[in-house]
Amino acid sequence: MPTPDKYYVAFFVTSCKSLDEVKSKYGATIAAHMTRSNELHKKGSLLMAGAFLDDPGEPVTTMGIFPSREAAEEYAKGDPFVLNGLVTKWYIREWANILR
């Protein structure tokens, strides 16, 4: 199977200061986020996703890798963290794959 030349990476900056804060204050939101992310991964529209490890002084930031811009936009617009106002900024970047 050929490897795609490009992917789309969506970044999400949250209003949370740590992963512990996310887990302790937003359990229902993270559960819905995880369920939805796993469903989209099984369908192939979300290839990889996760949170960057805590960096003191910076808000929790997460990212997802998608096969198309449309898949990335759909993910962002329906994400429970976005819908609940916990994401202060999100954006999508096209990423060139050099591996073959």
Task: Give the CATH fold of the 6-96 domain.
Answer: Alpha-Beta Plaits (3.30.70)
Predicted TM-score (pTM) of this structure = 0.91
| 57-86 residue pLDDT tens | 899 999 999 999 999 999 999 999 999 999
| 21-58 residue pLDDT tens | 999 999 999 999 999 999 999 999 999 999 999 888 89
Q: Which residues lie closer than 8 Å to 36 by C-beta, 6 or more apart? A: 78, 79, 80
The residues pairing with 87 across neighbouring beta strands, listed in sequence order, are 14
Q: Where are the domains of the chain?
A: 6-96
pLDDT band of residue 88 (cuts 50, 70, 90) is very high
